[in-house]
Amino acid sequence: MDFRHLLPLVAGIVGSAAVLSVHAGPIAAYVVAIEGRWSAHGTGTPLVVGSPLPPMARLAPLGATPRHRIAVVAARGGALVLTVDCAKPRACDRPITVQTPDGAGDSDSQDSWLQRLMARIEGKPERYVATLSRSGGAPMESVLAATGDEVDIAPALRPVPPGRYTVSLHPLECRPPCAPLDADAPLNWSQGARVALSLPGMRPGLHDLVLGRPGAAAVQPTRSARVLVLPKDEARAAASRLDEWTARVDSWRPALDPAQRQSLMRAALDELAAVR
């Protein structure tokens, strides 16, 4: 009997098993930042942000250049356990072992949260690529409380210097004939103020909050952040959860650049939106 017609199927199964082998067994750590192509030594499978790593994983850059960098955190406790920068002399001459000894960091309630977020980013890395300019004083990823048609956007504006701006909220799933909410509405911002936008027809969910300058040329870079708008009675708990995650992500500095940090924060907002 001729089994040659089964060879593509067999090859596909073998290939899938090779990919799954990276995820098999206990997970000791996760990749949280990466530049250049890296693999877990011996598999050849490229790593991405969110990739889980087994105990004592050995990492190697694929075609090392000074631009190759990687950062890894422990699955238990979330401590930063490895940063490698190939721009440093001899840093990438041989595979690097990720050491997460037993008991590294206390297990806490955020461990399962970390696992879910890493799986989310690994599954759809293209969704978490920062595409807008993040110049100084940009708004921050936040949970915003809505009361009826009013949304308090002040939590997203904490890093923004006082001044006159325009503001728009773009529903993330917005498709024609959907339009931005309050497109280029005037905003006179001062620190500590409550800023309630009246947005008739606003629905809870993920939005991009975009700031501009009144009368600015269209070529001027915009400043934006992803926000999750929730009814006021849901927003407090979600904001508290986001604050916990923010503290953890900030503990990984300076291993993360601003765009990498933004990607991690966006994944957290997606998770909060999915579980509400």
Q: Could you report the per-residue pLDDT of 217-276, keeping only the tens digit for each? A: 554 556 889 999 999 999 999 999 999 999 999 999 889 998 899 999 999 999 999 987
CA–CA distance, 61 with 276 (Å, rounded to integer): 39
The values of phi and psi at residue 240, to 5°, are: -65, -40
3-state DSSP call for residue 150? strand
Q: Which pLDDT score, from 0 to 100, does residue 44 have?
A: 72
Domain residue extents for the chain = 21-105, 142-275
State yes or no: pLDDT of 1 exceeds 60. Answer: no
Residues near 224 by beta carbon (within 8 Å), at least 6 away in sequence = 132, 138, 139, 208, 209, 210, 211
| Dihedral of alpha carbons 227, 229, 230, 231, sign | positive
Q: Which of 35-39, 41-45, 168-172, 196-200 has the lowest mean pLDDT?
A: 41-45
Q: Are 121 and 49 in contact (CB under 8 A)?
A: yes
State yes or no: pLDDT of 23 exceeds 60. Answer: no
Q: By CB neighbour count within 10 A (0-12 exposed, 13-18 middle, 19+ buried), where does 9 fall?
A: exposed
